[in-house]
Amino acid sequence: MCIRIQRSRATVKDLHSRLQHAYQRDDVRWVRRTTVLIDLLVHHVPVEILRARWGLSPSGIYRWRQDCLLHGVESLVDHHGGGRQPKLTPKQRKRLIELIEAGPLVGGFETACWTSVLIRGLIWREFGVLYKRHYVCTWLHNLGFSVQKARFVSDHLDAATRLAWLEEKWPAILRAAKRRQGLSLFEDEASFAPWGSLSDPWARRGQQPEVPTSGKRKGYKVFGVIESFSGRVCYQGIEGRFTSEHSQAFLPLIMTQTTPHLFLIPDGARSHPSAATHAFLAAHRDRMTAEPLPSYSPDSNPIAYLWKKTKQRATHNKYCKEFTELTVSVEKALAYFATHPDTVFGLFGRYCEESGVELQQAA
C-alpha cells in the first residue's frame, strides 16, 4: 500500500523560502537537501529517481524525510556537525574582512599590499588568535580573496575630477560627436622595445625559458588614435623621442584620412599641451576639437588596451635583433587591428565595462 504525505500550504511555503535562502547563501549542501524534500513531499517524486538524480543513498533520503516529519522545517537548520569550533566569531571575521579591505596602511603597516604573513600578524594583534600562514591563505581564498599582481598608480590622482570626466564630460563628447556626425578619437603614444614582454610559458620543470636580449634601449615609437563608435585605428610610427613636432605631424595625417569633425581626446603627455600644438588646434578648430583627459589618468584612455594587444602580437616572448625587425613586427600587428575594427571595438568595450560608462549614454 502506497501512503502519500500531504504538507500544509504554510509548510510548503516555508520549504520554498528556505530553498531561496540556501541559494542566496550559495550553500550547495542545503540547496540539495531542501530541493530533495520538496520533490519528495510536495511533488511526490519517487525515491529511486531522486537517488539517481542527486547521487544519494536511499537511506539518506529516508532519514531526511523522517527528520522533516518529526521536527518540521526546523530540521533544515544548520547545526554544528562536530569538530573544532572556529577561533574567530562571525563578528570578528566580519571585522577582519573590513580591515583587510581597508588596506595595510590604514591598519598601521608600512606597506601598501597585504601578504599572508601580514594578515597573520593582523589577526594576532586584533583578536589574539595565531593561525599558521598556510591556513590563512586557505581562509582568504574561501572568503573570495586571491593573489594578484600589484600595479603602480599615481598619487596625484584627483578622484573627483576623474569621476566627473567619466560621468559628465565623456558622455557629453559622445553626444556632441553623434549630433555633428563627427568622430571621437582617443589619442596616445606607445613605445615598443626590441626585447618585448614576457609571460609564463610551458617548460620542463627546473628549466626556465629564456628569451635573448641585447640590452639596447632603442624602441619604436608610435602615435595612434582609436574611434569610439567604430573601433577605427589610425597610427604613425617614428624613430627617436616623442616631441610636440611629431604630435603636430600626426594630426594632419588624421585629418587627411577623415572628413567629419574630429573630437580629439589626448592624454596629459608633455608633447600635447605645447604652444605650437595649441596654435595648430586653434587654426583648425573648424575640423578638430581637443578635449584632453584629466591629468595623471593614463588608465582612462581605452587605447591602452590596443597597445597591450599590439605588444602581445608583435613582441611577446620575442626578441628582435635588428631594429627593422621590430618596426616590421609592430607595423604588421597594427595593420591587423586597422583592418579588424570589430576587434578594436571589443577592446573598447572592455574599457566601458571597467569605467562603468556605456556608449549608449551618447544616444
Domain boundaries, the chain: 9-76, 90-142, 159-362
CA distances from 309 to 143, 239, 344 (A): 32, 21, 9
- 28-41 and 47-54 are packed helices; what angle lies between their axes, rounded to 10 degrees? 160
Q: How far apart are CA 315 and CA 192, in angstroms?
A: 8
Q: Which CATH superfamily is domain 159-362 in?
A: Ribonuclease H-like superfamily/Ribonuclease H (3.30.420.10)
Q: How far apart are CA 67 and CA 81, in angstroms?
A: 16
Q: How far apart are CA 246 and CA 225, in angstroms?
A: 14
R_g of the chain computed on alpha carbons: 30
Q: CB under 8 Å to 292, separation ≥6 — which residues?
A: 265, 266, 267, 268, 272, 273
Backbone dihedral region for residue 160 (phi beyond 0: left; psi -120 to 50: alpha; all else: beta):
alpha
pLDDT tens, N- to C-terminus, the chain (363 residues): 455 566 678 888 888 888 888 777 767 788 888 888 888 888 888 888 888 888 888 888 888 888 888 887 777 766 555 556 778 888 898 999 999 999 998 888 888 889 999 999 999 999 988 888 888 988 888 888 888 877 766 665 667 777 788 788 888 888 898 899 999 899 988 888 877 666 666 777 777 777 776 666 678 899 999 998 888 899 999 887 877 777 788 888 999 988 999 999 887 655 556 777 788 888 888 999 988 888 766 667 888 889 989 988 888 877 777 888 889 999 999 999 999 988 888 877 666 666 555 554 444
Burial of 185-199, coded b for 16+ CB within 10 Å and e otherwise, reads: bbbbbbebbbbbeee
C-alpha cell at 65: 524525510
Alpha-helical (H) ranges within 108-193 are: 116-127, 133-142, 159-164, 170-179
Q: Provide the whole-model pTM.
A: 0.57
The residue ranges of DSSP E strands in 215-281, in sequence order, are: 220-227, 233-238, 262-265
Q: What residue type is assigned to position 186 of the chain? A: F
What order of strands is seen across the sheet that includes strand 233-238? 233-238, 220-227, 183-192, 262-265, 288-290
Q: What is the DSSP string of 339-362?
A: T-HHHHHHHHHHHHHHHT--GGGG
Q: CB under 8 Å to 53, separation ≥6 — which residues?
A: none
Identify the H or E element spanning 153.
Answer: none
Cα dihedral sign, 37-40-43-45: positive
User: pLDDT value at position 244?
Assistant: 75
Contact assessment for residue 228 and residue 262, using Cβ atoms and an 8 Å cutoff = no
Q: How far apart are CA 333 and CA 142, in angstroms?
A: 41
